[in-house]
């Protein structure tokens, strides 16, 4: 029997008997390695450890300490989940179950259209741990498609995957492109169709937790049946699992919906309607400061401020294309004078009066402002800015806190440029947007380029390509990661969106910048060029906050409710130790208010300790305590958020410190 030679990633070569497997290779190197091995990569292709190695291959042994091991562990654990559910619910069938970020899921159809309950998750978890304790092997085998279909006779969704793959569509990644279909058998009763690879046996799988269950359409389409999905998280080590669960708890504490109530910032009165927020006085201060600073920066950057109404006749949205492409996202129209005569202004069938719509976007109004008179190339780029409140009829299941609402205010601008100016202007806009976001405390970004949405877009391929290229060039010049979002553009043009990572690493879509060749055409916009001829301007849509509401919610979570001094509703609270110090406390407050600071005094009706505790709960930047010493020397005791108490601080030096915090936006 001849030997085979295997090259390891470090370049060394090992000789093994013919037919040797990854397991053999690992064992020949070391016991520890054999124990930790999860799968092997043969010439870059992942394979089971049990598969024979081909002569001359380069082989990397993936252990559970390496980052890419988690995906294999998750996928294998998904099989255990499927086995558990199929055992617990005789007659159940299963669809797909991929590894995802931090874990995996699996979709099932339970007999009689059943659904999972929270208690079911506990039963499934217990069954999974039995399967893992039994240390069942994952045994691979392959069948021709005909036999594969027979094997999966009771599992129609698996057969759909096979049929799709046979017709060249393996978008789900369930089957692979070969002539045969691979399976993994754990027990005589449980076989799952799968590309693999898998860990050698279920005993390798330990650190998972079932987290949620819910409905999910088969293959993600509303046209398909709804299946029952179970989600789980899974990690190679217990420490990583616990770390993840801990991060989840920390994120829950930052939830802006919870903090919005606790800090008295905003609410969603049921009487008003789903997805419609009201801002309370404290939230109002934060919001006004956010908006004021934005206005100031926009003014400095050459934007002009405009205003437009909340409702308009249907014709405007007919011209803009919104009624053709965005009608699902709009509130139904108000029918005015429904029995009157058609005024000839359109917006309804003959004799049915006029329809008015709540506006879902601000762009048509800004276009009308542009078109209100003849424009010269000397005016371009013309930058119009509005805090424009728009209304969108979001489907009932998607409304979520301030991040997904039905009424929102966009910090919306539309820039009209010549074709020649477009790329420069896009670069200026992107730099402006990133700079401003940094002032709001977000400084970790990546960019996403969204291209033409097939089937729901207006305009020619050439126009789309040109606009997309311009955006790509600008994005690439920023030295920030760029990812492609195929088909994610708006109906009128491609876009760059800025994704920001917050204090605990979650990403949020913030600003969008969209190039639009379409609306200028639809509204027949023009300007007079240096040549005396009429030319078509190009329009750029951009919002920096996205919506003020969403941005507000993101900032609450980013700062965990502890706003930096420049945004804090109350920057300083002065606490007299006893009533005798009340006059001094008020004098201190008066002095600080004179500097423009937001200050309150809370008298000595309660113990000092309790008043401190309340102020800390409200996450104020500074609490000042004044007692006998401070009255005598015109000082204050400074208790800063997240810092040590300082005594006998001269009032003036505290004022300078706070002014510094505010100026630096910290």
Partner RNA sequence: GCCCGAGUAGCUCAGUUGGCAGAGCAGCUGUCUUGUAAACAGCAGGUCGUCGGUUCGAUUCCGACCUCGGGCUCCA
Query: Using CB under 7 A, which residues numbered 111 to 130 contact RNA?
Result: 115-117
Nearer to RNA, 289 or 604 (CB): 604
Complete DSSP assignment for 106-167: EEEE-GGG----HHHHHHHHHHHHHHHHTT-B-EEEEEEHHHHHHHTTT-HHHHHHHHHHHT
- Binding residues among 191-230 for RNA as defined by CB under 7 A: 212-217, 220-222, 226, 228-229
From the list 158-166, 271-279, 415-423, 653-661, the region that binds RNA by CB under 7 A is 271-279
Give the x-and-dash track for 556-585 against RNA (CB under 7 A). ---------------------xxxxx----
Q: Is-catalytic flag, 310?
A: no
The least distance separating RNA from the CB of residue 647, rounded to whole angstroms, comes to 5
- Find the binder of RNA among 236, 333, 381, 401 (CB under 7 A): 401
The least distance separating RNA from the CB of residue 229, rounded to whole angstroms, comes to 5
Q: Is-catalytic flag, 412?
A: yes
Nearest residue to 39 via CA among 187, 138, 134, 106: 138
Report the C-alpha gap between 550 and 282 in whole angstroms: 17
Q: Is-catalytic flag, 541?
A: yes
Q: Is-catalytic flag, 363?
A: yes
Site membership for RNA, residue 639 (CB under 7 A): yes
Residues composing the chain:
666
Nearer to RNA, 148 or 548 (CB): 548
Q: Which residues of 40-74 are buried (b: 16+ CB within 10 A; e: fewer)?
A: bbbeeebbbbbbebeeebebbbbbbeeeebbbbbb
Site membership for RNA, residue 666 (CB under 7 A): no
Whether 479 and 442 have beta carbons less than 8 Å apart is answered as no
From the list 185-193, 414-422, 539-547, 563-571, the region that binds RNA by CB under 7 A is 539-547
Site membership for RNA, residue 85 (CB under 7 A): no
Half-sphere exposure for 640 (CA within 13 Å, toward CB): 14
Whether 625 and 564 have beta carbons less than 8 Å apart is answered as no
Whether 135 and 119 have beta carbons less than 8 Å apart is answered as no
Give the x-and-dash track for 243-262 against RNA (CB under 7 A). --------------x---xx
Nearer to RNA, 59 or 82 (CB): 82
Site membership for RNA, residue 650 (CB under 7 A): no
The least distance separating RNA from the CB of residue 262, rounded to whole angstroms, comes to 7
Whether 359 and 365 have beta carbons less than 8 Å apart is answered as yes
Site membership for RNA, residue 490 (CB under 7 A): yes
> Across the chain, how many H-helices and E-strands are there?
20, 34
Number of residues that bind RNA (CB under 7 A): 82
Nearest residue to 614 via CA among 630, 635, 600: 600
- Find the binder of RNA among 124, 241, 314, 405 (CB under 7 A): 405
Nearer to RNA, 69 or 436 (CB): 436
Nearer to RNA, 239 or 645 (CB): 645
- Binding residues among 279-318 for RNA as defined by CB under 7 A: none
- Binding residues among 361-400 for RNA as defined by CB under 7 A: 392, 394-400
Complete DSSP assignment for 478-516: TTS-EEEETT-SBTTB-EEEEEEE-TTS-EEEEEEEEEE
Contacts of 75 (CB under 8 A, 6+ apart): 97, 98, 99, 104, 194, 198
| Coil vs helix vs strand at 9 | coil
Active site members: 363, 392, 410, 412, 414, 495, 541
């Amino acid at each position: 029997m001849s030997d085979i030679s295997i090259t390891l990633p470090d370049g060394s070569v090992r000789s093994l008997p013919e037919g040797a497997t990854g397991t053999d290779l690992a064992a020949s190197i070391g016991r520890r390695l054999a124990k930790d091995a999860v799968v092997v990569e043969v010439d870059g292709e992942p394979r089971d450890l049990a598969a024979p190695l081909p002569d001359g291959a380069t082989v990397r042994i993936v252990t559970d300490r390496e980052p890419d091991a988690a995906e294999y562990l998750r996928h294998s654990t998904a099989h255990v989940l499927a086995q558990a559910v199929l055992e617990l619910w005789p007659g159940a069938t299963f669809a797909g179950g991929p590894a995802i970020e931090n874990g995996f899921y699996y979709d099932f159809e339970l007999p009689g259209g059943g659904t999972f309950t929270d208690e079911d998750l506990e039963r499934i978890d217990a069954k999974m741990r039995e399967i893992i304790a039994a240390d069942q092997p994952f045994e691979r085998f392959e069948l021709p498609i005909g036999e594969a279909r027979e094997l999966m006779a009771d599992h129609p969704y698996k057969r759909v995957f096979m049929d799709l793959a046979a017709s060249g569509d393996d978008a789900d990644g369930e089957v692979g492109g070969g002539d045969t279909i691979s399976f993994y058998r754990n027990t005589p009763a449980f076989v799952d169709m799968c590309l693999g690879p898998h860990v050698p046996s279920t005993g390798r799988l330990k650190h998972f937790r079932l987290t949620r269950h819910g409905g999910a359409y088969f293959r993600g389409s509303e046209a398909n049946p709804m299946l029952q999905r179970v989600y789980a998280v899974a990690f190679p080590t217990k420490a990583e699992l616990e770390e993840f669960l801990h991060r989840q708890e920390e994120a829950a504490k930052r939830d802006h919906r919870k903090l919005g109530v606790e800090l008295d910032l905003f609410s969603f009165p049921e009487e008003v309607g789903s997805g419609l927020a009201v801002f309370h006085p404290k939230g109002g201060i934060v919001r006004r400061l956010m908006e004021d600073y934005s206005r100031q920066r926009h003014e400095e950057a050459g934007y002009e401020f405009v205003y437009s109404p909340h409702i308009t006749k249907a014709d405007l949205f007919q011209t803009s294309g919104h009624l053709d492409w965005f009608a699902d996202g709009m509130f139904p129209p108000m029918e005015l004078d429904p029995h009157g005569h058609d005024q000839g202004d359109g917006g309804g069938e003959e004799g049915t009066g006029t329809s008015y719509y709540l506006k879902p976007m601000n762009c048509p109004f800004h276009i009308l402002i542009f078109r209100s008179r003849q424009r010269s190339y000397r005016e371009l780029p013309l930058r119009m800015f509005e805090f424009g409140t728009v209304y969108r009829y979001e489907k009932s299941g998607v409304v979520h806190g301030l991040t997904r609402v039905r009424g929102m205010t966009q910090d919306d601008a539309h820039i009209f440029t010549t074709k020649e100016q477009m790329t420069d202007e896009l670069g200026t806009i992107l730099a402006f947007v990133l700079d401003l976001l940094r002032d709001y405390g977000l400084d970790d970004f990546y960019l996403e380029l969204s291209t033409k949405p097939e089937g729901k877009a207006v305009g020619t391929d050439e126009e789309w390509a040109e606009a997309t290229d311009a955006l790509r060039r600008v994005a690439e010049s920023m030295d920030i990661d760029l990812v492609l979002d195929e088909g994610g553009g708006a109906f009128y043009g491609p876009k760059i969106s800025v994704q920001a990572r917050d204090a605990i690493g979650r990403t949020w879509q913030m600003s969008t910048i969209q190039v639009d060749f379409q609306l200028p055409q639809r509204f027949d916009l023009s300007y007079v060029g240096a040549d005396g001829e009429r030319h078509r301007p190009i329009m750029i849509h951009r919002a920096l906050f996205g919506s003020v509401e969403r941005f507000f919610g993101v900032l609450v979570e980013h700062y965990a409710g502890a706003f930096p001094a420049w945004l804090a509703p109350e920057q300083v609270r002065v606490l007299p130790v006893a009533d005798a110090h009340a006059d001094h406390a008020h004098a201190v407050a008066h002095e600080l208010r004179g500097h423009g600071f937001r200050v309150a005094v809370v008298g000595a009706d309660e113990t000092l300790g309790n008043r401190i505790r309340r102020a800390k709960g409200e996450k104020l930047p500074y609490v000042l305590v004044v007692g006998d010493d401070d009255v005598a020397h015109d000082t204050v005791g400074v208790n800063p958020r997240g810092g040590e108490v300082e005594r006998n601080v001269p009032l003036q030096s505290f004022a300078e410190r706070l002014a510094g915090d505010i100026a630096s936006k910290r």
